[in-house]
Amino acid sequence: MSTRRLRSEDYNDYSSTDVTPEGSPPDGMNGFAHPESYQRFGETNGTTWYQTLIHLLKGNIGTGLLGLPLAVKNAGVLLGPLSLLVMGVVAVHCMGILVKCAHHFCNRFQKQFLDYGGAVMYGLEATPSACLRTHAIWGRRIVGLFLIITQLGFCCVYFVFLADNLKQVVSAANGTTNDCSPNRTVVMTPTMDSRLYMLSILPFVVLLTFIQNLKVLSIFSMLANVAMLGSLVVIYQYIVRDIPDPRNLPLAAAWKTYPLFFGTAIFAFEGIGVVLPLENKMKKPRQFPVILYVGMSIVTILYISLGVLGYLRFGADIQASITLNLPNCWLYQAVKLLFSFGIFFTYAVQFYVPAEIIIPPLVARVSERWGWLVNLLLRMALVCVTCVLAILIPRLDLVISLVGSVSSSALALIFPPLLEIATYYSEGMHPLVIAKDIAISLFGFVGFVVGTYEALVELVAPAATVVNATTVLVQ
């Protein structure tokens, strides 16, 4: 792929717009076309609906899924699934708001597509406030910063997850048999530190991120989906057997642990950053709303079912990752490897968003002759940053919880409702819609404040139960 193609097709779609707050749209502010004259033609070589659905599922199903049984424990066997359902509905609704507002400004400015930051920028420019209109460009910058922090934070978790699973498989290799009895004990053989596993994985992840075409990535995403689907089937068939009496489990856990549930849940619903890039790259973008609701319905059902069944099966003994509760036999060791295979390719999908924000402006500063080399070097540097952070931060689960509470809450819950108000307030909005948007933003803000506070408290003075869960996950 040439540097010219990277700049004009792949990059500008997400990192820049033709019209800025300092500029003027075609034909002036009163020259917008009518909605019926606006069409989204998509790209001739864009992704199909099936490829887009694959990317959407891969962008949302990751390591957070395996931690949901512990999240349900932190909320309660009744309150947990109800809260997951509410958060899923709200998160999907906010994704729909983001797509709707982006389409609105594409219509007004006769643009083919907009990214998250561009939609927020134009939303601020549409507000009655002169101050917000003047500083509208900061909307794009703030969203870009939150996207970078969130997506690269997920990439750090993937490094830890891959290293820990490989280490566990290698440590138990000598004692692993075909006996899958849950009462069987396997003596773990000492092996190299998990941080060395991260360094061993690094070159392969770097090579993976050199793939910049979503259609090519869809092939790997499909393989990853198959691997993770196979792993989930095996996990489900194990946890549905011999479920003990659930009457001893609390319907609602202590409120002090609920912020831990919120952090894990909002981390699990991690896909809003890939929504507009996926829609922008579709061959038929008008199909995307249906794909979004179908895909996220599948994700929400999967989250609730695994979280509830996992907690019912293991009760108070549930660990930070449900795979760690599985017996140490070849079948379930293969589950860890298969899920790791899927997470490996999920890294590329999550990395796509921050790369499209950071790299294009830097590549544009060099000549076209060296653009391809600078592009690859920057990708390698970003991957190395995520690997180094995963190595240096000893309690990565709490750091990711902090990143999730701050960035994911803002991107998934706080910004989209405020964007809807900014976009449509001048055109007239029903008071109930305004109240709904304010309520969602307040919900996200409360989760941001409380989740951040609890994460910081645990980082400074960890509780014994959390330390135990953390040690299991990021050992």
Question: How far apart are the C-alpha atoms of 292 and 52, rounded to whole Å?
Answer: 9
Q: What is the pLDDT of residue 206?
A: 93
Give whichever of 215-229, 247-261, 395-409 has the largest mean pLDDT.
247-261
Determine the average pLDDT of the residues in 113-120.
88
Judged against a pLDDT cut of 80, whether residue 23 lies above it is answered with no
Q: What is the pLDDT of residue 174?
A: 67
Give the predicted TM-score (pTM) of the model.
0.77
Judged against a pLDDT cut of 60, whether residue 295 lies above it is answered with yes
Give whichever of 7-16, 285-294, 431-440, 461-470 has the largest mean pLDDT.
431-440
**Joined tokens for residue 398:** 């709490």
Bridge partner residues of 323 (DSSP): none
Bridge partner residues of 282 (DSSP): 47
- Reported as a pLDDT band with limits 50, 70 and 90, residue 98 is very high
Question: How far apart are the C-alpha atoms of 45 and 49, rounded to whole Å?
Answer: 13
Which backbone phi and psi does 359 adopt, to 5 degrees? -75, -45
Q: Please list, in sequence order, all residues whose beta carbon lies within 8 angstroms of the beta carbon of residue 84, skipping any fewer than 6 positions away.
A: 68, 71, 72, 265, 300, 303, 304, 307
Range in 323-332, 423-432, 436-445 the model is least confident about: 323-332
Average pLDDT, the chain: 79
Task: Return the number of other C-beta atoms located less than 10 Å from residue 185's C-beta.
Answer: 8
* Residues 327, 182 contacting (CB under 8 angstroms): yes
- Reported as a pLDDT band with limits 50, 70 and 90, residue 201 is very high
Alpha-carbon dihedral angle through residues 88, 287, 225, 321, given to the nearest 10 degrees: -10
**Percentage of the chain modeled with pLDDT above 70:** 82
Task: Return the number of other C-beta atoms located less than 10 Å from residue 99's C-beta.
Answer: 19
